[in-house]
Amino acid sequence: MSDRAVVVLGGGIGGVVAARRLRQRLDPGARVVLVERDPLLRFAPSFLWVMAGWRTPEGVTADLRRLRRRGIELVEAEVEGVDPDGRAVATTAGPLAYDRLVVALGAELDPEALPGFAEHAHSVYTLDGAAAAGRALQGLDEGRVAVVVSSLPYKCPAAPWEAAFLADAVLRRRGVRERCPVDVYTPEPFPMPTAGPELGAELRAMLEGRGIGVHTERSVQSITGDGLLLAGGEQVPAALTIGVPPHRAPRPVRDSSLAGPTGFVPVDPATLATDAEGVSAIGDVTAIPIAGGKMLPKAGVFAEGEADVVARRLADELHGRVPTAEFDGRGSCFVELGGHRAAFATGRFYGGGRPRGADAPAGPALAPGQGGVRAVLAAPLGRVTVGRTGIGDLRGGSPGARPARSGRLPGRSP
Ligand SMILES: Cc1cc2nc3c(=O)[nH]c(=O)nc-3n(C[C@H](O)[C@H](O)[C@H](O)COP(=O)(O)OP(=O)(O)OC[C@H]3O[C@@H](n4cnc5c(N)ncnc54)[C@H](O)[C@@H]3O)c2cc1C
């Protein structure tokens, strides 16, 4: 197997976990090459904590160049094209041949697709945007905060609702909440539809309990300095608009033979193999149908689980063993409630079945749900634990228990 190259495209959550687990599993003769345009990984699950003032931007940023010490070849370059027939990738650093390819290029943000978003909204989907939203919340004394979901799909189904809870918490702390209504506008039928109507209803009740307006099946057509224009013509005044920009598949993927009808990459749900020989795809760049005509949500917890499965399978394949690892659609999600409390939802998204209610007590009963989504509400943050991401190790320590919201970039915890 010596001199074989496994090339991983994209050094975000999925790509870093895949590269690291491949390096651990492959013999030293095999090369692991990670191609990423930005050597600084900005850990998106912590962006809302930056908005709330609980993390600094530096505290949620890790340097991917440290991976070189672990025997991973980091190529700092833009991926320009993927040619599965020629088993090669075009990059700004030149062409790269591969024996196996893992595509982990994520979902691209496309703020220009919603008129006025780039000019008048703070995107909490970038680190700079989340920090700017935080400053704007600190400076707001009066007027509505509109939280906008531009379009579907978007990554992290919990994020806009968490943004609303945290905006509410910041404004309460500052003593201006009564003068600043907080309203969420989304085209979705209810909050977090992939988690099912029961969880959606509970989340809605919790939002409304905090005085947050939940406006579902509302599409925003444009954003101005004065507020929102909704489909149907209604105008909503807003002093501050924060939100989720439109998403699309990354260009090199959209332009390749790997793309499905939406531009994202169809894969075998269990093996993450694409139709192209030797090519797997993981994370937000994939399109995986699940029960009820829905798609597997785009979330880091799935990117991580998929990366692990692909690393195991490729290691088996390249060492002449029969690959057996399969992804089961299991995932968990924290929903930030403000006040250092969080709801926790967990389930097997390939399992089908009816989502269960959210009245279980917090504490050790946080086992993955069987064939549905189960939520444990109002657990104090820090008590609930999920697995490891491997991301935190980039800063030289353990990522700790929480993969997503804290990310546990060591030395930066509150
Ligand atoms: C505000 C927010 C909160 C979130 N909270 C959670 C949470 O609590 N739990 C959770 O599980 N998930 C959460 N997520 C979602 C999670 O961050 C993503 O689902 C996850 O990062 C997906 O991993 P990925 O590897 O597929 O893509 P990414 O992590 O986005 O990585 C893709 C990488 O590819 C690189 N890239 C793209 N195009 C090119 C190119 N042409 N050339 C070179 N490099 C390229 C990018 O620079 C990027 O580094 C959150 C996201 C946001 C924005």
Question: Tens place of pLDDT for every residue, the chain, 414 residues?
Answer: 456 899 999 999 999 999 999 999 999 999 999 999 999 999 999 999 999 999 999 999 999 999 999 999 999 999 999 999 999 999 999 999 999 999 999 999 999 999 999 999 999 999 999 999 999 999 999 999 999 999 999 999 999 999 999 999 999 999 999 999 999 999 999 999 988 888 899 899 999 999 999 999 999 999 999 999 999 999 999 999 999 999 999 999 999 999 999 999 999 999 999 999 999 999 999 999 998 888 999 999 999 999 999 999 999 999 999 999 999 998 888 888 887 788 877 888 887 543 333 323 332 222 333 334 444 443 333 333 222 233 333 332 222 223 334 333 222 232
Report the atom number in ligand 1 closest to the C-alpha of 405.
8
Residue nearest to atom 22 of ligand 1 (CA): 300
Residue nearest to atom 17 of ligand 1 (CA): 44
Is 124 close to ligand 1, i.e. is its CB under 6 Å away?
yes
- The pLDDT value recorded for residue 4 is 87
Residues 220 and 320 grouped into a single domain: no
Q: What pLDDT sits at residue 395?
A: 31
**83 and 172 both lie in a single domain:** no
Q: Which domain holds residue 56?
A: 5-109+248-329
**The total number of structural domains that make up the chain:** 2
Beta pairing class for 88-91 and 286-287 = unpaired
CATH number at residue 134: 3.50.50.60
User: Residue 179's pLDDT is what?
Assistant: 98
- Residue 334 is assigned to a structural domain of this protein: no
Residue closest to 225 by CA, chosen among 143, 282, 319 = 143
The per-residue pLDDT for range 2-54, each reduced to its tens digit, is 568 999 999 999 999 999 999 999 999 999 999 999 999 999 999 999 999 99
Q: Are residues 118 and 236 in the same domain?
A: yes
| Residue range 157-174, pLDDT digits in tens | 999 999 999 999 999 999
Q: How far is CA 188 from CA 20, 149, 157, 242, in A?
A: 36, 9, 10, 17
CB 62 within 8 A of CB 391: yes
Do 190 and 241 belong together in one domain? Answer: yes
Is 244 touching ligand 1 by the criterion CB < 6 Å?
A: no
Q: Are 222 and 116 in contact (CB under 8 A)?
A: yes
Residues 24 and 171 grouped into a single domain: no
CB 263 within 8 A of CB 249: yes
Distance of CA 282 from the midpoint of ligand 1 (Å): 11
Query: How far, in Å, CA of 178 to CA of 401, rounded?
Result: 36
Q: Between vectors from CA 307 to CA 391 and to CA 316, what angle results, nearest 5°?
A: 125
Tokens of 215: 């406006």
Ligand 1 centroid to residue 10 C-alpha, Å: 9
**Three-state DSSP state, 20:** helix
In a domain, 340, yes or no: no
Would residue 367 count as lying in a domain?
Answer: no
Domain boundary among 208, 228, 246: 246
pLDDT of residue 60: 94
Amino acid 82: pLDDT: 98
Q: Is 15 in the pocket of ligand 1 (CB under 6 A)?
A: yes
pLDDT of residue 338: 81
Nearest-CA residue for atom 1 of ligand 1: 125
Closest residue by Cα to residue 64 from 334, 394, 358? 394
The residue whose C-alpha atom lies closest to atom 30 belonging to ligand 1 is 106
From 265, 300, 329, give the residue that closes a domain: 329
pLDDT at res. 243: 96
Check if 129 has its Cβ closer than 6 Å to any atom of ligand 1: no
pTM (global) more than 0.75: yes
User: Is the same domain home to 235 and 261?
Assistant: no
Residue 391 lies in a domain: no
Position 146 scores a pLDDT of 98
- 232 and 118 inside one domain: yes
The pLDDT of residue 334 is 81
Model pLDDT, residue 198: 86
Where does a domain end: 246, 264, 279?
Answer: 246
Domain annotation covers residue 414: no
Question: Is the minimum distance from the CB of 14 to ligand 1 under 6 angstroms?
Answer: yes
Assess if residue 410 is contained within a domain. Answer: no
CA 388 to chain centre: 15
What is the C-alpha to C-alpha distance for residues 288 and 274, in angstroms, rounded to an integer? 11
Residue 204 in any domain: the answer is yes
> Residue 145 — φ and ψ, nearest 5°?
-100, 115
Query: Do residue 78 and residue 144 come from a single domain?
Result: no
Residues 188 and 288 in one domain: no
Question: From atom 4 of ligand 1, which residue's Cα is the shortest distance away?
Answer: 45
Same domain, 102 and 14: yes
